[in-house]
Amino acid sequence: MTRRVLLITSSIFGEGGQSRALAESFKAALQGRDVELTERNVVEQPLPHLTGAEMASWMTDPAERSDEQRQLAEVSDELLSEIDACDLLVLAVPLYNLGIPSQLKSWFDRILRAGRTFQYTANGPVGLLEGKSGLILAARGGMYAGTEMDSQTPHLRHMLALIGIKDVDAIYAEGLNMGDERKQQSLTEARQAIGHYVDSHF
Protein backbone atom coordinates (compact mmCIF):
# COMPACT_ATOMS: atom_id res chain seq x y z
CA MET A 1 0.00 0.00 0.00
CA THR A 2 1.31 3.42 -0.93
CA ARG A 3 2.41 5.50 2.04
CA ARG A 4 1.99 9.24 1.73
CA VAL A 5 4.76 11.36 3.18
CA LEU A 6 4.83 15.12 3.74
CA LEU A 7 8.39 16.46 4.11
CA ILE A 8 8.81 19.97 5.54
CA THR A 9 12.25 21.59 5.28
CA SER A 10 13.19 24.84 7.00
CA SER A 11 16.91 25.60 6.63
CA ILE A 12 17.79 29.21 5.79
CA PHE A 13 20.96 27.89 4.13
CA GLY A 14 19.16 25.97 1.40
CA GLU A 15 21.06 23.02 0.00
CA GLY A 16 24.02 23.93 2.23
CA GLY A 17 22.03 23.36 5.41
CA GLN A 18 22.68 20.28 7.50
CA SER A 19 18.99 19.65 8.20
CA ARG A 20 18.48 19.80 4.44
CA ALA A 21 21.19 17.14 4.10
CA LEU A 22 19.24 14.93 6.51
CA ALA A 23 16.12 15.48 4.42
CA GLU A 24 18.02 14.44 1.29
CA SER A 25 19.26 11.30 3.06
CA PHE A 26 15.68 10.49 3.97
CA LYS A 27 14.54 10.95 0.37
CA ALA A 28 17.38 8.76 -0.88
CA ALA A 29 16.37 6.01 1.55
CA LEU A 30 12.84 6.08 0.13
CA GLN A 31 14.01 5.24 -3.39
CA GLY A 32 12.35 2.13 -4.76
CA ARG A 33 9.62 2.08 -2.13
CA ASP A 34 5.89 2.55 -2.60
CA VAL A 35 5.76 6.16 -1.44
CA GLU A 36 3.98 9.32 -2.52
CA LEU A 37 6.17 12.22 -1.40
CA THR A 38 5.05 15.84 -1.05
CA GLU A 39 7.66 18.45 -0.18
CA ARG A 40 7.28 21.96 1.19
CA ASN A 41 10.24 24.24 1.83
CA VAL A 42 8.96 26.95 4.17
CA VAL A 43 11.99 29.14 3.45
CA GLU A 44 11.75 29.03 -0.34
CA GLN A 45 7.94 29.19 -0.06
CA PRO A 46 7.79 31.67 2.83
CA LEU A 47 4.70 32.39 4.87
CA PRO A 48 4.18 35.79 6.51
CA HIS A 49 3.70 36.08 10.23
CA LEU A 50 0.15 35.24 11.25
CA THR A 51 -2.16 38.24 11.66
CA GLY A 52 -5.45 38.75 13.44
CA ALA A 53 -7.14 39.33 10.09
CA GLU A 54 -6.01 35.93 8.80
CA MET A 55 -7.09 34.13 11.96
CA ALA A 56 -10.46 35.91 11.80
CA SER A 57 -10.93 34.61 8.26
CA TRP A 58 -10.84 31.03 9.58
CA MET A 59 -13.51 31.86 12.13
CA THR A 60 -15.85 33.36 9.54
CA ASP A 61 -18.36 31.11 7.83
CA PRO A 62 -17.02 30.40 4.32
CA ALA A 63 -20.27 31.64 2.77
CA GLU A 64 -19.87 34.98 4.56
CA ARG A 65 -16.19 35.64 3.86
CA SER A 66 -15.14 38.73 1.94
CA ASP A 67 -12.82 38.34 -1.05
CA GLU A 68 -9.89 39.28 1.20
CA GLN A 69 -10.91 36.74 3.81
CA ARG A 70 -11.23 33.99 1.19
CA GLN A 71 -7.70 34.70 -0.01
CA LEU A 72 -6.37 34.69 3.55
CA ALA A 73 -8.14 31.45 4.46
CA GLU A 74 -6.85 29.72 1.32
CA VAL A 75 -3.27 29.92 2.66
CA SER A 76 -4.01 27.76 5.68
CA ASP A 77 -6.45 25.56 3.76
CA GLU A 78 -3.74 24.61 1.26
CA LEU A 79 -1.32 23.63 4.04
CA LEU A 80 -4.03 21.64 5.79
CA SER A 81 -4.87 19.75 2.61
CA GLU A 82 -1.25 18.59 2.47
CA ILE A 83 -1.15 17.39 6.05
CA ASP A 84 -4.62 15.83 5.78
CA ALA A 85 -3.38 13.71 2.88
CA CYS A 86 -0.22 12.39 4.55
CA ASP A 87 0.37 9.30 6.65
CA LEU A 88 3.80 10.45 7.86
CA LEU A 89 4.87 14.03 8.57
CA VAL A 90 8.64 14.56 8.42
CA LEU A 91 10.14 17.77 9.80
CA ALA A 92 13.76 18.52 8.87
CA VAL A 93 14.66 21.14 11.46
CA PRO A 94 17.78 23.15 12.26
CA LEU A 95 18.25 24.57 15.76
CA TYR A 96 18.36 28.38 15.67
CA ASN A 97 18.92 30.16 18.98
CA LEU A 98 17.53 27.16 20.91
CA GLY A 99 14.30 27.16 18.91
CA ILE A 100 12.72 26.36 15.57
CA PRO A 101 13.11 28.64 12.53
CA SER A 102 10.54 31.43 12.46
CA GLN A 103 9.49 30.23 9.01
CA LEU A 104 8.52 26.86 10.49
CA LYS A 105 6.64 28.57 13.31
CA SER A 106 4.60 30.43 10.67
CA TRP A 107 3.72 27.06 9.12
CA PHE A 108 2.66 25.65 12.48
CA ASP A 109 0.58 28.77 13.18
CA ARG A 110 -1.55 27.88 10.16
CA ILE A 111 -2.03 24.18 10.83
CA LEU A 112 -2.80 24.48 14.54
CA ARG A 113 -6.40 25.56 14.00
CA ALA A 114 -9.06 25.19 16.66
CA GLY A 115 -12.08 23.45 15.22
CA ARG A 116 -10.08 22.10 12.30
CA THR A 117 -7.05 20.18 13.57
CA PHE A 118 -7.92 20.21 17.28
CA GLN A 119 -10.88 21.11 19.43
CA TYR A 120 -11.32 22.35 22.95
CA THR A 121 -13.25 20.10 25.34
CA ALA A 122 -14.11 20.16 29.03
CA ASN A 123 -11.00 18.03 29.57
CA GLY A 124 -8.69 20.17 27.46
CA PRO A 125 -7.75 20.23 23.76
CA VAL A 126 -8.14 17.07 21.67
CA GLY A 127 -6.35 16.49 18.37
CA LEU A 128 -8.43 15.74 15.29
CA LEU A 129 -5.76 14.31 12.97
CA GLU A 130 -5.75 10.61 13.73
CA GLY A 131 -3.72 7.76 12.33
CA LYS A 132 -0.67 9.83 11.43
CA SER A 133 2.90 9.58 12.67
CA GLY A 134 5.77 12.03 12.75
CA LEU A 135 9.54 12.05 12.31
CA ILE A 136 11.87 14.86 13.39
CA LEU A 137 15.23 15.14 11.63
CA ALA A 138 17.16 17.55 13.83
CA ALA A 139 20.50 19.18 12.99
CA ARG A 140 22.37 21.04 15.74
CA GLY A 141 25.75 22.69 16.06
CA GLY A 142 26.13 21.65 19.71
CA MET A 143 25.04 18.77 21.91
CA TYR A 144 21.51 19.28 23.25
CA ALA A 145 19.42 16.11 22.92
CA GLY A 146 18.32 14.77 26.28
CA THR A 147 19.35 17.89 28.17
CA GLU A 148 17.24 20.74 29.53
CA MET A 149 18.83 22.97 26.88
CA ASP A 150 16.84 21.10 24.24
CA SER A 151 13.66 23.14 24.30
CA GLN A 152 13.09 22.44 20.59
CA THR A 153 12.17 18.74 20.64
CA PRO A 154 9.54 19.03 23.41
CA HIS A 155 8.05 22.08 21.66
CA LEU A 156 7.71 20.18 18.39
CA ARG A 157 6.26 17.13 20.15
CA HIS A 158 3.71 19.27 22.01
CA MET A 159 2.55 21.03 18.83
CA LEU A 160 2.22 17.73 16.97
CA ALA A 161 0.38 16.13 19.91
CA LEU A 162 -2.03 19.06 19.95
CA ILE A 163 -3.33 18.04 16.53
CA GLY A 164 -3.30 14.33 17.32
CA ILE A 165 0.14 13.23 16.07
CA LYS A 166 1.59 11.52 19.13
CA ASP A 167 3.62 8.73 17.51
CA VAL A 168 6.75 10.81 16.85
CA ASP A 169 10.34 9.62 16.40
CA ALA A 170 13.43 11.84 16.36
CA ILE A 171 16.82 11.41 14.69
CA TYR A 172 19.60 13.82 15.65
CA ALA A 173 22.80 15.02 14.02
CA GLU A 174 24.54 17.01 16.76
CA GLY A 175 27.93 18.55 17.41
CA LEU A 176 28.09 19.75 13.81
CA ASN A 177 30.09 22.84 14.79
CA MET A 178 32.46 20.93 17.07
CA GLY A 179 35.12 19.96 14.54
CA ASP A 180 35.11 18.09 11.24
CA GLU A 181 35.62 14.67 12.79
CA ARG A 182 32.67 15.05 15.13
CA LYS A 183 30.56 16.49 12.30
CA GLN A 184 31.23 13.64 9.90
CA GLN A 185 30.68 11.01 12.59
CA SER A 186 27.37 12.57 13.59
CA LEU A 187 26.12 12.86 10.00
CA THR A 188 27.12 9.26 9.28
CA GLU A 189 25.28 8.03 12.37
CA ALA A 190 22.22 10.08 11.44
CA ARG A 191 22.18 8.69 7.89
CA GLN A 192 22.39 5.17 9.29
CA ALA A 193 19.53 5.88 11.70
CA ILE A 194 17.44 7.25 8.84
CA GLY A 195 18.10 4.09 6.84
CA HIS A 196 17.06 1.90 9.77
CA TYR A 197 13.91 3.98 10.28
CA VAL A 198 12.87 3.68 6.64
CA ASP A 199 13.62 -0.05 6.58
CA SER A 200 11.42 -0.62 9.62
CA HIS A 201 8.54 1.68 8.62
CA PHE A 202 8.21 1.20 4.84
144-183 tens-digit pLDDT: 999 999 999 999 999 999 999 999 999 999 999 999 999 9
Residues at the binding site are: 11
Q: What CATH number corresponds to the domain at position 155?
A: 3.40.50.360
Q: Cβ(100)–Cβ(137) under 8 Å?
A: no
Cα separation, 39 vs 143, whole angstroms? 28
Domain holding 115, by residue range, is 3-201
Name the pTM for this structure: 0.96
For the chain, what percent of residues have pLDDT higher than 90? Answer: 99
71-125 tens-digit pLDDT: 999 999 999 999 999 999 999 999 999 999 999 999 999 999 999 999 999 999 9
Half-sphere exposure of 67 (CA within 13 A, CB side): 0
Count of domains observed in the chain: 1
Residues at the binding site for FMN are: 11
Q: Cβ(139)–Cβ(102) under 8 Å?
A: no
Q: List own/partner pairs for 196-199 with CB under 8 A and 24 or more apart.
A: 197/29, 197/135, 197/169, 197/171, 198/26, 198/29, 198/30, 198/33, 199/29
Q: How far is CA 10 from CA 37, 44, 60, in A?
A: 17, 9, 30
